[in-house]
Chain A
Amino acid sequence: MEEFILRVENVSYAYEEGAGMAVQDMNLAFRPGEMTAVLGHNGSGKSTLAKLLNGLYTPTVGKVTVCGMDTALDEHTWQIRQSAGLVFQNPDNQLVASIVRDDVAFGLENIGVPSAEMPGRIEDALRDVGMLDFIDRAPHMLSGGQKQRIAIAGILAMRPRALILDEATAMLDPKGRREVFSVVERLNREQGITVVWITHFMEEAARCRRVIVMDQGKCVMDGTPAEVFTQAERLRAMRLDVPPMVALGDLLRARGLRIPREAMDIESMAREVLACR
């Protein structure tokens, strides 16, 4: 197995010639099985990064490779998009068919999977996102979180190595957000799918193993959540907040309580606070 699934080397990208760089001189690599959050304010270049990672955009300067394949070469395009699936923000605008079953089949049809093999793969994918019961429903009757899970199933059926989610929870209600995040987390844990989770929700980022912060097209921080979120001042300078539990941890530590920096979600914080008594 190769060392990196997705690799970004000295990449810059401009939407138009002469326009400003949306992504500037970026170097990143994602290992197989990693779950990484990408944080950044609007216009920080995180959506551009997502589209660079599966070859929808090809870098103006530099090189992006997916499973060792260069996205700039036309002969790899479909193999790359199959290996690195991309889920978008708006659940309504990425479902193609008027029946869930047909929508999940869409990607399979495009890559030429034999018809006999499709039903099994569709059912597996829907089961993985917990939507098997909805196989004959119409997407417009489903909730946002359910639609987003269908979109994930549509990618999953193509058996990708990596899943890139470009603010997939931004338009969902809290319940839908939790549903989608836990589905992706489970896929990462159980199937070892590499996940790049682009978001501006700090709570979600805190639950990933690695956090990358982007600002003005550059990668400015890269580390574990503990490493990144302890630099609260730097985050605020980029108009980003620290997750509430991290902020709470800081306050408690300032009062002399011994709370480890790793306590970043409600459960572990509760555990640590109880342990302090």
Chain B
Amino acid sequence: MPIDKTVPTFEEAVADIPDGATVFIGGFGGAGGMPHRLMLALRDLGSKSLTIAGNTAGIAVPTGFGWPAGEEPIDHAILVENGQIAKVIASFPVSGSVSRKNAFELAFERGEIELEVVPQGTLVERMRAAGAGIPAFYTPTGAGTDLAAGKETREFDGIECVLETALRADFALIRGAVADRLGNITYSGTSRSFNVAMAAAAEITISEVDEIVEPGEIDPERVDTPAIYVDRVVARGAQGKGSR
């Protein structure tokens, strides 16, 4: 039977995400590369006590980060405000503006959500390591700071390094530009971001894409995420490349 990872609706694509799951949410923080339709479907599904990991915890709504002027952003706030999040793992969890707090920061102040802040390069490398079968690695990033507290350290060539462990998820929600039904994915521009590492580091990887094409229509030289890492693809349909 021909392999076909296409799922017709966003609702079906996320239907088996249970309470308590760890979910990667792709992108960098702006509209590009962020799986908004999958996030909306997860909001509608209503799974609770989720751990979400990704670069941010929703910075587009308060500041318009990476969003076209005049368009109302969608970000992680839809999940936070729906009471679905127990823990956030992120490098840039809050708004860059102290006076414009995001929904996560307000929930954090109320003690409703746990936070693990991870340096951006360490965060993505922990995902990359998970996808590549590396259980842990040493990095100089964070040595001597609060973010290394309680972690093993070791000197290499006179430089103190911190032992960081691989970070896996039960589900990765990512967004690509074009997929084929085998699950090969290409991205556009800076929307590769966290999506590439996340795709390989989750038990089930679900990609929202602008367009789904037949195998052979994507130049194999241009595949960014090979099909081996991808379980489901859903087309944005009429929304296409749009931000929302």
Q: Do A and B come from one complex?
A: no
Binding site for A on B (CB under 8 A): none
Which residues from chain A sit less than 8 Å from chain B, CB to CB? none
